[in-house]
């Protein structure tokens, strides 16, 4: 069983964290840049699930990001707010590019027959009471290692993007094990987060 976690960057000039996780919690991570690179990796691996850190759908009542209206939050975003979890709304500045890229990548991967879920490493890390990468890469690495993650997590030069990709992959594994919370409205997109570990 292989799961892919992707910490997607808003633009291809910035690094995207990419992680493959197996049933024994072994990780292989790398940094990728283009959609083409990601799709090529996914086709090679043929994962059971792909968990992406990026908005993968627009809110109901909004046809595009260019459209000017007052609808900025999806149901899953509203539920994150209720949980007290901080995030950037998808219609805000740099989030617009990430949202466009996430939606496009999701459509391509689903057309190729893969199951794709949306997750958010910051929320995952808050729920699991482990530090976000902003608090220090070493702290996040240690916390993920304590959860049983092995393999590339010990790489000397691992990036915060790769650690967030590992977090995404962990959510994919929990999803397959039916140990997850699904926030939001199916008609938009469900955000998948861990229930427990």
For residue 124, what are the domain limits?
A: 2-62+69-194
Alpha carbons 8 and 128: distance in angstroms, whole number: 21
What's the CATH code of the domain at 188? 3.30.420.10
Read off the pLDDT of residues 158-174 as tens digits, 9 standing for 90 and up.
Answer: 999 999 999 999 999 99
Reported confidence tier of residue 196, pLDDT bands at 50, 70, 90: low
Alpha carbons 113 and 27: distance in angstroms, whole number: 23
Q: What is the pTM of this model?
A: 0.95
Read off the pLDDT of residues 94-146 as tens digits, 9 standing for 90 and up.
Answer: 899 999 999 999 999 999 999 999 999 999 999 999 999 999 999 999 999 99
Q: How many structural domains does the chain have?
A: 1
Phi, psi (degrees; rounded to nearest 5) at 108: -60, -50
Q: Give, as one character, the DSSP assignment of residue 50.
A: E
């Amino acid at each position: 069983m292989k799961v892919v976690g992707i910490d997607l960057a808003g633009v291809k000039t910035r690094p995207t964290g990419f992680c493959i996780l197996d049933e024994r919690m072994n990780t292989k991570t790398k940094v990728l840049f283009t959609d083409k690179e990601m799709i090529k990796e996914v086709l090679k691996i043929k994962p059971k699930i792909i968990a992406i850190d990026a908005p993968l759908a627009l809110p109901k009542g909004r046809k595009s990001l260019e459209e000017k209206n007052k609808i900025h939050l999806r149901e899953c975003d509203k539920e994150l707010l209720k949980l007290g979890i901080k995030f950037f709304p998808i219609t805000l500045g740099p989030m617009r590019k990430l949202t466009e890229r996430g939606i496009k990548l999701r459509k391509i991967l689903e057309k190729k027959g893969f199951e794709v879920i949306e997750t958010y490493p910051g929320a995952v890390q808050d729920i699991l009471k482990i530090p976000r990468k902003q608090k220090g890469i070493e702290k996040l690495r240690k916390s993920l290692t304590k959860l049983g993650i092995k393999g590339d997590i010990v790489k000397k030069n691992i990036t915060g993007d790769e650690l967030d990709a590992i977090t995404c992959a962990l959510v994919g594994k929990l999803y397959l094990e039916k140990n997850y919370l699904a926030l939001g409205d199916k008609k938009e997109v469900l955000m998948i987060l861990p229930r427990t570990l």
